[in-house]
Chain A
Amino acid sequence: MGGEPVGPAVLEGEIHLAYRWTTGPATGAFLTALRDRGVILGLRCPSCRRVLCPPLEVCPRCGTETAGEVECGPGGRVTAWTLVEAPTPWTPWEAPYALISVRLDGASTDLVHAVTEGARRVRTGARVKAVFRTVGRRVGDILDLEGFAVE
């Protein structure tokens, strides 16, 4: 914190803070399955029977606690897409990449992720397949699912 004065009218500054976020049982299991097994997990809502993927602890629609893991994907269908030409400095992919909403096989909800192989061929309804980080390099974050390849 603090800052270098660059003039009487403006002060520049930065804030650096460290955090450690608890993933909780649902997201924790999702990330663990990605890292250890290269598997995408959903959770079923016992009330409406939908499979939430990514999984949530509570089904928002029913207010019911989810239970029962279901493996989803690795294939899925694109439900919305955009080709990103102007990424942010922290974007992990080279532009252009496609940001997609994808309905994985076996899931009732959509996952937001990226197409990293064949981005220019993405269309609504296109089939895509998950690409995982190489075994041995997985760390337990969402990018253990590196992205999707257009089939």
Chain B
Amino acid sequence: MRQVAVVGVGQTRCRLRREDVSFPGLVREAVTAALDDAGIRLADVDAVVFGSSPEYFEGVNHPEKWASGAFGGYLKPHMRIHTGGTVGASTGIAAFYHVASGMYDLVLAVAGDKLSEGSVQAGLSTVYDPILGRPFACGAPSAVALQCRIYMERSGCTSLHGARVAVKNRLHALNNPYAQLRLPDITVEQVLSSPVIASPLRLLDCCPASDGACAMVLACGDRARRLCPRPAWVRGASAVAEGVHYARREWDRPLALHEAARRAYAQAGVSDPRRQVDVAEVYDAFSYQEMIWYEGLGLAEEGRGWRLIEDGVTTLGGELPVNPSGGVLSTNTIGATAMMRQAEAALQVMGRAQARQVDGARLAVAHGWGGAIQFHTVMVLSSEAP
């Protein structure tokens, strides 16, 4: 496997509605930003990988057909990825495969969504199994609420811990110019008194819906060294699925996450993630999930994820900051969200995360989840080449 690094990232500013641009125009913004960041032109790119969320969310079927001219797919090797909420990360991982395989030297990964154009929760409900699932479909929160309930009952995590995650990430978002939600005065009491969506999830435990896009430029070893003084080396990456109705679904201990983490860490030579990882960007669509992901990623002992919140370990300035960007709780385009985790992790190990920079970050992990919480992606990025 060849050396691969992220050498440029681009994000749009995310908003509830971006009525100033069409969908192709939006992805174009992220592409232009990533190319500028990498110091290259579209003509330098060997191949393009594009991702967006399920078509029902935006009502544009086959959006790569519509947008390929705008994101630079014209007369280049080009493919679309879709894996629900993980799609942004799967797109980044597919671009990594493109370069690692030796097929291409410089690959553009781009993902985006304009969730304002449809009804997200109605669209999400079409994701449910058409034969056995639709009557129970009520967007994402009710399904995730089951997961959070199981986690709380098994681990001793309380609503206070969920609220503290919700506050932590919203305060982190104030350091990120690309984040959507700006809640400088948010308090734990506010979270705990916000309306219940599906118990135990309250409004402020939930992510917003966003219009936005993200792009990354990935390069092989020698190109990366020439283009970038401090590239973000992709040391390991894995995308793993489990089924929807498998009898052995353990919602709060997802096998797919454990397997994805095991594979990515093995590639990266990470044996003790809690000690080795400096910063993590996880897919915290709902506050409690962040603590479940700590455990799945080996950043906390099983059933003890909430302890990291209690001890302030994962706050910016703590020992192992998680979601210094503000995370998904502050911005969720779905299509680009999991790529934003990778892009933010890359910026951290490049030392370019500005006000949200974790001091001395050298090893970062980026996580995504999608489908019926059944797809998980893990990417390990480092300031050091393999």
Residue of A nearest to B19 (CB): A22
Task: Mark A50-68 against chain B: 1 for CB-CB distance below 8 A, else 0.
Answer: 0000001111110100000
Known: A13-B134, A17-B118, A18-B119. A24 touches B68 (CB 8 A): no
| Max count, chain A CB within 10 A of own CB: residue among B20, B70, B119, B123 | B70
Q: Which A residues lie within 8 Å of B98 (CB)?
A: none
| Interface assignment of A137: CB less than 8 Å from any CB of chain B | no
Please state if B22 and A19 are interface contacts (CB–CB under 8 Å): no
Q: Which A residues lie within 8 Å of B131 (CB)?
A: 11
B313 to chain A, nearest CB (A): 42
Cβ-Cβ contact count across A and B, 8 Å cutoff: 77
State A15–B131 Cα separation when bound (angstroms). 13
| Interface assignment of B85: CB less than 8 Å from any CB of chain A | no
Please state if A17 and B56 are interface contacts (CB–CB under 8 Å): yes
Partner of B59, one of A13, A17, A27, A57: A17
Chain A residues touching B, majority SS: loop
Please state if A57 and B22 are interface contacts (CB–CB under 8 Å): yes
Of B23-31, B197-205, B275-283, the one contacting chain A is B23-31
Please state if B130 and A13 are interface contacts (CB–CB under 8 Å): yes
Please state if B21 and A58 are interface contacts (CB–CB under 8 Å): no
State A57–B24 Cα separation when bound (angstroms). 8
Partner of A60, one of B59, B69, B117, B119: B69
Please state if B24 and A24 are interface contacts (CB–CB under 8 Å): yes
Give the number of chain B interface residues (Cβ < 8 Å). Answer: 35
Residue of A nearest to B125 (CB): A1
Q: Hey, which bits of chain B sit against chain A, CB under 8 A?
A: 18-25, 28, 42-43, 56, 58-60, 68-70, 72, 74-75, 114, 116-119, 122-123, 125-126, 130-131, 134-135, 137
Q: List 20 A-B contacts (CB under 8 A).
A: A2-B134, A11-B131, A13-B134, A15-B126, A17-B119, A18-B119, A22-B22, A22-B23, A22-B117, A24-B24, A24-B25, A25-B20, A25-B21, A56-B69, A56-B70, A57-B22, A57-B25, A58-B70, A60-B69, A63-B43
Q: Which 7 A-B pairs have the closest CB atoms?
A: A24-B22, A60-B69, A19-B59, A60-B74, A63-B42, A58-B70, A24-B25
